[in-house]
Amino acid sequence: MSVAVSAQRLAVSGASDQELQRLARREALALSSDELRSIAQRIGRDPTRAEAHAFAIQWSEHCSYKSSRPLLRALPTKSADVLVGVGEDAGILRAGTANGVEYGVVVAHESHNHPSQVVPFEGAATGVGGILRDVLCMGAEVVASADPLRFGMPLAGSHAAYVAGAAVDGIAAYGNAVGVPNLAGDVYFHDSFKENCLVNVVALGIVPIDRIIHSRVPPDGAGYDLVLVGKATDASGFGGAAFASLVLDASLAQSNKSAVQVPDPFLKSVLMRASYAVFDEVRARGVQVGFKDLGAGGIMGSSCELANAGGCGAEIDIDAVPVAVSGLPPFVIACAETQERMLWAVPPAFTPELLEIYNVRFTLPHVSANARAAVIGKVTSAQRYVVRAGRDTVIDVPIDVLAGPIVVPRVAMPPSVAAGSIRPASPSAFSERTATELLLAALSHPDVCSRRPLIEHYDRFVRGATVIPAGYADAGVFIIKRGARAGIALSVDGNPRYGAISPRLAAAHAVVEAARNVAAVGAQPIGLTDCLNYGNPEDPIAYWQLSEGVAGLAEAANALRLNAPGEPLPFVSGNVSLYNESAARAISPSAIVACVGRVDDVGKVVTMQLTAEGDPLFLFGPRTPHTAGSVLLAMTTDETRHVAPGDLPPLDYAEANASIRAVIAAIGAGVVKAAHDISDGGLAVCATEMCLGGDGRGTIGVTLLEPLEWAPSVSSDVALFGETPGFVAEVSRDAVAAFEEICKTTGARPMRIGTTGGSRITVEGSIDIGLGEAADAWLTPLVELYA
């Protein structure tokens, strides 16, 4: 094929390393000299400026997964429940039937860590905005979001406190305005996130399974129109993907700000509704279409991937792109990451209807200056990606080279363990404080205390489909369609205290806990999505952490066999966020996992709150002596000391499978009336939260038997505060036999640990606290931060 680029080319061939580095700096290209040479070699000539920028984005870690791709192959990705697996804008799981229609639940997970550290409000808001488009572009109605957050310790007046506050405000401002309820989320405060916060976001959608739209040009799509929809293109976010793939440097904060996009939830709200109208029309006319979010690399990234995934090429006319300002260079228009834009590939006969819906019926040009739907190019049968601007052809490259995967081999090296590592404090070291004092301290620990002051910034009830709002149970639940009974549960997990000790175990624990959380409301776990937050992959230790994290995810997801055919729990989507470190430190390796669960009857779900007096409480999961990474240890010892991975609570997958199956079945049968998983703060905190309930106003107390009776092999403090996984369940006092029968069927061996009732939390021989005192300790710590 003859090469017809008419734009000026960059002098790459024959240049020295030094000259290429200078060139990259001058052109603000995040490319190494080797990568520049590789581009020239692959396209057979020196690249134009636009081509170099296009490759810099496509080959960024953010877009290419060049470091993580080989590792991710270890994750299970298939099961009977998977409708669309990894590789499109979002994955889709079989959700169930509602009012005679079979639905899929669309699952996407993203991070917006660097932008949120630099400008927390806008950074966090655009993180929400981006993920909503990923879900929307599968043809789905966007129905829920969840926000896993990791901040530095929020000392009053600190920058970490500012980030923790403003990021939540940004999430709330965006999600509340577009009307997507917040269903779940978590927040941890850990010093390793002081200069590099983590703002991950999960979003869910629902779509009738015969209406799924794919992120690719459909077969026979050559000749289709490419229609750009949304906000007028400006220079905002130019270089965003490259920015996401750099180590944060505080001194560059100012220049990095221009790489952060500007959120517009108001326009998004209209775009979503207009797109729903288009979905109806697509369905009514039976046309085949492709639809893709504009994220990293803007028009270029989206159009080249949409066409390439369909085995086609594309031609883009830059002059046809609606712009917000004149005079932008073509490569900026092509690659800017202006928010609130999407790209359709539609047959030309459908184009007038598409333009009418967005521009006339939903009046996009009146909603935001120069926002509109506009034809900006064509899908071609030639396997080339071509961009023209005026009389110039600024990009003309083989499309599979630009869109295709690249892999960069990385070196993994475990950190050397400091000589004389200190074992965790022995149980006797906790005895200086009474168990009552420890419980009160645990309840007000930043990783344990009530998230209510934060959660109440979010709209959890918009759409009128919420069944369990965030904060009331281990997972949030929504109904798929009113009038039906099917629902979906969602939970997120990932413990940074564990990540710092063992990236592998932390990741594995995150998978199992996410599945437990979903089960604790009575939902069947059906799939996972992950966001892998790690440091610079060029650093062998950070790369080792990443590889260990993925190995842990794979181990746990393969070990959980919860559906009827006994298949592994599949990952259907995910995100990799590397370079999460600052000059000061690397973050705690953080594999953050979300689990989606299927609810057959939303009338049967339970929360963590106790429902009646005189019911027996049962414990699933025997207590073990392991205390590393626990809140107990964080409260009582110097957290920075080294502990060995073997000191973390072990994962007993057989126990997890049996317990999870039993809890789901027992909730479905109506014999378990409340359930809560044991995590931060251990069993004592778990039982207390069951008394207090989501809003802290619960009035039913508990009396637990002496720990010696249900955890004879560990000390009382470890039994009460150790974080070995498990559940506590309230069993209907009239249905204990039925409960035991269900447990026998799944192989679970719950132990009776106490009884509900009274207005105090009592543990025979150790703890005695009134519910009011416990509620005060639990409810108040975050009030000031989120006032």
Partner 1 sequence: MRRPTVAVVVFPGTNSEAETVDACRDAGMQARLFWWSEDPELLRTFDGYVLAGGFAHEDRVRAGAIAAKSPIVAVIKEEAGKGKLVLGLCNGAQVLAEAGMLGPVALAQNLPAHHFQGLMVEVVVDREPQRCAFTSCLEPGHAMAMALAHGEGRFTGTPATFEQLEEHAQIVLRYAGAAPNGAEHRAAGICNDEGNVLALMPHPERAAWAFNVAFDDPALRGVDPNKPAAAHSIFACMAAALRATEPSP
* Cα–Cα dist 497/447, whole Å: 10
Comparing CB distances to partner 1, the nearer of 600 and 709 is: 600
Q: Is 509 a catalytic residue?
A: no
Residues 6+ apart with CB under 8 A from 337: 236, 237, 238, 240, 241, 261, 294, 295, 296, 297, 298
Cβ 457 to partner 1 shortest distance, Å: 6
3-class secondary structure, 380 = strand
CB of 738 to partner 1, least distance (A): 15
Q: Distance (Å, rounded) from C-alpha 362 to C-alpha 370?
A: 13
- What angle, rounded to 10 degrees, do the helices at 736-746 and 653-668 form? 140
Structure letter (DSSP) for residue 317: E
Residue nearer to partner 1 on the CB measure, 468 or 769: 468
User: 745 near 665, Cβ under 8 Å?
Assistant: yes
Of these residues, 53, 62, 109, 445, which one is catalytic?
62
| Residue of 147, 125, 290, 282 whose CA lies nearest to 219 | 290
CA–CA dist 456, 439 (Å, integer): 25
User: How far is 159 from 162, CA to CA, in rounded Å?
Assistant: 5
Q: Residue 202's beta-bridge partner residues?
A: 109, 146
Taking the complex as a whole, how short is the minimal distance between the CB of residue 158 and partner 1, in angstroms?
20
Smallest separation (angstroms) from partner 1 to the CB of 744: 25
Exposure string for 240-274, b = 16+ CB within 10 A, e = fewer: bbbbbbbbbeeeeeeebeebbbbbbbebbbbbbeb
Of the candidates 53, 109, 112, 214, the residue annotated as catalytic is: 112
Check if the beta carbon of residue 72 is closer than 8 Å to that of residue 33: no
Q: Is 112 a catalytic residue?
A: yes
Alpha-helical runs (H) found in 76-119 = 113-118
CB of 724 to partner 1, least distance (A): 28
Which residue from 271, 313, 310, 273 is spatially nearest to 293, judged by alpha carbons?
A: 271
Pick the closest to residue 559 from 653, 651, 494, 652 (CA basis). Answer: 653
Is the separation of the CB atoms in 774 and 438 below 8 Å? no
| Distance (Å, whole) CA 344 – CA 190 | 42
Contact indicator for 72, 532 with CB cutoff of 8 Å: no
**Angle ∠(697,703,705) on CA atoms, nearest 5:** 150
Give the type of residue at 631: V
Question: How many CB atoms neighbour CB 529 within 10 A?
Answer: 29
Collapsing DSSP states into helix, strand and coil, what is residue 355? helix
The least CB distance from residue 452 to partner 1, in Å, is 8
CB nearer partner 1, residue 363 or residue 759: 363
DSSP string across 11-69: --TT--HHHHHHHHHHTT----HHHHHHHHHHHTSPPBHHHHHHHHHHTSHHHH-TTTH
Min separation Cβ 361 and partner 1, Å: 6
* 274 vs 386 by CB, closer to partner 1: 274
Nearer to partner 1, 238 or 472 (CB): 472
Q: Please give the Cα distance from 301 to 683 (Å, whole number).
A: 48
- For 649, phi then psi, to 5°, come to -55, 135
Give the Cα-Cα-Cα angle 781, 783, 787 (nearest 5 degrees): 155
Q: Which is nearer to partner 1, 103 or 362 (CB)?
A: 362
Q: Bridge-partner residues for 763, per DSSP?
A: 704
- What CA–CA distance (Å, rounded) separates 202 from 127? 10
- Which residue, 292 or 452, has its beta carbon nearer to partner 1? 452
Residues found near partner 1 in the complex (CB under 8 A):
169, 172-173, 176-179, 265-266, 269-270, 273, 360-363, 366-367, 455-469, 472-473, 479, 482-485, 601-607, 611-612, 670, 673, 694-695, 787
Mapped onto helix, strand or coil, the DSSP state of residue 88 is: strand
In the bound state with partner 1, the residue whose beta carbon lies nearer, of 105 and 173, is 173
- Name which of 579 and 778 has its Cβ closer to partner 1: 778
**CA distances (Å), origin 365, targets 234, 343, 474:** 15, 17, 43
User: What amino acid is encoded at 638 in this protein?
Assistant: D
**Shortest distance, CB of residue 365 to partner 1, whole angstroms?**
12
Residue 52 or 735 with smaller CB distance to partner 1: 735
The residue (of 230 and 297) whose beta carbon lies closer to partner 1 is 230
Residue number with CB closer to partner 1 (345 or 477):
477
CA atoms within 13 A on the CB side of 750: 32
The least CB distance from residue 489 to partner 1, in Å, is 12
Q: What is the DSSP letter of 759?
A: S
- To partner 1, the closest distance from the beta carbon of 691 in angstroms equals 14
With H, G, I as helix, E, B as strand and everything else as coil, classify residue 153: coil
As annotated, the active-site residues are 62, 112
